[in-house]
Amino acid sequence: MNATISIRLIIAVYKNTTFLKKVLDSVEQQSYRNFKVSIVEDGNSEVMKNFIESTHYSFPIFHYTQEDIGFRKNKILNKALRETTEDLCVFIDGDCILHANFLRAYAKNYNPSKVLFGKRTDLDEVTSKYILDTKTVVPPRLKMILNGSKRVEDSFEIKWFPSKQTITPYLLGCNMGIPLAILKKINGFDEDYELPGYGEDCDIEWRIRKAGYSFINLKFKAIQFHFYHERPDREDQLQISKKMYQQKMIKGEVFCKNGLLKSF
């Protein structure tokens, strides 16, 4: 593994500092150390600001905010990317804690012409509460199994398991690594998407694929655990975003107009 590969870990958050504290604790335990952290907040909460300013970790943290006027995750992601210089951008959410070798898996499999991606284990409510109430960072598998966590099989690190390449990866915005050079080639995230649940990962996936880049599946390697929380019904919003997504695919524009650079 080349330890000179620089990583910018980009953590998307919105108000929940309790989850973020555990996420940052898991980042502190990473076996790979050549990284910096960007916390991208789709809002400007004073509580979040005070929390981040009071934290003490061994890695640099950069905090990006914007006015809280609706869902604009892609906009704040681009804001952070404009100031990013690292080789690889790894994206996670502020409710996902990381296995100690999470960043190591990304660094080990880094290729400037490929996009890396993993999956996640969805923790059940009881196990999530256990982690939040104790000093535990990585959840015990027995608790996950007994309490009904979903996709527990994805929590096992299998070093001999081959990193699969695929043309239909179905990227998750909470576990993907994209070389900065590729992000610039497609003009970053499309800020036209302003509704949650659709457009951030699937849109960037098809544009990357159409631009001619391939993907590497880090299943059983880039392991993360997603905290349990209630999910709002977003079906109506999903349909609106899906329609926009389909229209953009028909146009076939790899370099989005409303991204890192503005072309309108």
Residue 256 has a pLDDT of 96
Tokens of 6: 């620089």
Domains of the chain: 7-251 (3.90.550.10)
- The sheet carrying 224-226 orders its strands as 96-98, 224-226, 121-122
- CB under 8 Å to 69, separation ≥6 — which residues? none
What is the C-alpha separation between 94 and 110, in angstroms, rounded? 23
Query: How many C-beta neighbours within 10 Å does residue 136 have?
Result: 15
Q: What is the pLDDT along the chain (264 residues), one digit of tens a residue?
A: 667 999 999 999 999 999 999 999 999 999 999 999 999 999 999 999 999 999 999 999 999 999 999 999 999 999 999 999 999 999 999 999 999 999 999 999 999 999 999 999 999 999 999 999 999 998 988 999 999 999 999 999 987 777 777 666 788 889 999 999 999 999 999 999 998 777 778 999 999 999 999 999 999 999 999 999 987 777 788 888 899 999 999 999 999 999 999 987
* Dihedral class, residue 3 (left if φ above 0, else alpha if ψ from -120 to 50, else beta): alpha
What is the C-alpha separation between 217 and 109, in angstroms, rounded? 10
Nearest to 66 by CA among 47, 79, 51: 79
Residue 191 has a pLDDT of 96
